[in-house]
Amino acid sequence: MIKFYRLLVMLALPLSVLGAQLDSLKQERSKFLRDKTIVPVPVVFRLPETGFGAGAVVASTFSFARDSVGAKPSQLSFGVTYTQKKQVLIFLPFTIFYDNNRYYFSGDNGWYKYNYFYFGIGENRVPEEIFDVQYPRIRLLASRLVARNTYLGLRYQYEGYNVTGTRPGGELASGQIEGSDFSRTSGLGVSLLRDTRDMVFYPRRGIFGEVYVLPTSRIFGADRNFTRLYLDLSHYQSLGKKVVLATNYVASATVGDRIPFSQLSFLGGQKKMRGIYEGYFRDKNALIGQAEARWEVWRFIGLVGFGAVGFLGDEKDFVRLGKPKYTYGVGLRLTAQKKNHLNIRIDYGMSPYGSGNFYATIGEAF
């Protein structure tokens, strides 16, 4: 009834006043966000397991209008790709700072119809096996500032991993590998996060790190019980006006008896040890150290050099320090958003474990 009364009053106003009211309403809506930037990036690739693929990623950076000018910016991305072999990847990652950095939310969510390569578990390698899989993925973190630069929160992860095809005669097809047909993981745990970075997308000093304990349990809807312990810590140090040294340390451990192969700790991918196919090495435990020198060459162009070392372990040998894995590479950076220094990242990583790997995405690896 109140809304109807307001509508009658507005209709009775002169047109000039009504126009002013509408302009005011638009301004109020626009004040919800500020410093909005949208960066579209086309994606074209060709991989042995996919054939040709194409799609697009759109990244948006923004701040909330109610927050002060010094509040950290947020980022939301959405991407879709489709391949020659009718594979689909839909993903929606985000990081959000709200209420003058009092609340921090992040997520890595998506739906995938894809195929991957499997090379075995631990130090034992098997001949390359391709397998098909469909799965939704939900990874969410909600946290609140509890002390200066320190957040406490809850982390939730869900994945319904449905393996729809395997190579005949392979290790996965034998059914001896846990989760080689289907696994449903659902876990809820506690997260502690520390953030002293001077910038979110291109830090020049400070640290950013999270440690969490994530029990996956039938209580939360999983089809098995196990626990993941995880630490991810990055440190940034300026070596000059245009050079930054970034280091990253990751420790991952899984505790339990029926851990699906898709949930084991792994090396490789576009963020952890670029130069190794993601999941080429996997085991119950993993330890990674990586470093990257970032050089702002000219205006919107930057170059990087990076290297990493990683180790695997299991319940018998927590970390096999005598069997390290190495990667190294170079990269190009193109600044897509100047104010917050959001970069388009193009990397080429190499290792002794196969041909090099090419990566193109938005934002730094760590």
pLDDT in tens, 345-355: 999 999 999 88
For 3, the domain range is 1-30
Indicate whether 300 and 175 sit together in one domain.
Answer: yes
Strands 74-83 and 51-64: antiparallel
Q: Write the DSSP string, 221-281.
A: T-SS-EEEEEEEEEEEEE-SSSEEEEEEEEEEEEESS---GGGSEEE-SSSSSTTS-TTSE
The angle at the Cα of 134, spanning 278 to 364, to the nearest 5 degrees, equals 35
23 assigned to some structural domain: yes
> Which H or E run contains 72?
none
Q: Which amino acid is at 253?
A: A
Indicate whether 3 and 135 sit together in one domain.
Answer: no
341 assigned to some structural domain: yes
Tens of pLDDT, residues 205-238: 999 999 999 999 999 999 999 999 999 999 999 9
41 assigned to some structural domain: no
pLDDT the model gives residue 113: 96
pLDDT higher than threshold 60 for residue 66: yes
Residue 191 neighbours by CB under 8 Å, 6+ apart:
141, 143, 151, 152, 153, 154, 155, 210, 211, 212
314 assigned to some structural domain: yes
The residue among 312, 334, 306 whose CA lies nearest residue 247 is 306
Mean pLDDT of the region 122-126 = 92
Phi-psi group of 122: left, alpha or beta (phi > 0 → left; psi -120 to 50 → alpha; rest → beta): left
In the three-class reduction of DSSP (H, G, I as helix; E, B as strand; rest coil), residue 364 is classed as coil
111 assigned to some structural domain: no
pLDDT higher than threshold 50 for residue 7: no
DSSP H helices, the chain, are: 2-12, 15-30
pLDDT higher than threshold 50 for residue 179: yes
Tens of pLDDT, residues 132-169: 999 999 999 999 999 999 999 999 999 999 999 999 99
Domain count, the chain: 2
71 assigned to some structural domain: no
Rg (CA), the chain: 23
Indicate whether 263 and 142 sit together in one domain.
Answer: yes
Tell me the C-alpha distance between 194 and 151, whole Å.
6
In the three-class reduction of DSSP (H, G, I as helix; E, B as strand; rest coil), residue 21 is classed as helix
Average pLDDT, the chain: 90
Structure tokens, 13: 């106003």
Indicate whether 282 and 183 sit together in one domain.
Answer: yes
pLDDT higher than threshold 90 for residue 10: no
pLDDT the model gives residue 128: 93
Indicate whether 19 and 123 sit together in one domain.
Answer: no
Mean pLDDT of the region 292-296 = 98
CATH number at residue 154: 2.40.160.50
10 assigned to some structural domain: yes
Indicate whether 4 and 147 sit together in one domain.
Answer: no
Residue predicted with more confidence, 96 or 338: 96
- Determine if the pTM surpasses 0.85: yes
Indicate whether 159 and 273 sit together in one domain.
Answer: yes
Cβ(310)–Cβ(328) below 8 Å = no
124 assigned to some structural domain: yes
Tell me the C-alpha distance between 319 and 118, whole Å.
22
Indicate whether 25 and 171 sit together in one domain.
Answer: no
> Which H or E run contains 78?
strand 74-83
Tell me the C-alpha distance between 217 and 225, whole Å.
4
Indicate whether 171 and 22 sit together in one domain.
Answer: no
Local structure of residue 65 (DSSP, 8 states): T
Indicate whether 136 and 255 sit together in one domain.
Answer: yes
How many other C-beta atoms can be found within 10 angstroms of the C-beta atom of residue 41? 17
pLDDT bucket at 124, cuts 50 / 70 / 90: confident
Tell me the C-alpha distance between 250 and 248, whole Å.
7
pLDDT higher than threshold 50 for residue 17: no
Q: Which amino acid is at 136?
A: P
Cβ(152)–Cβ(146) below 8 Å = yes
The residue among 296, 338, 90 whose CA lies nearest residue 204 is 296
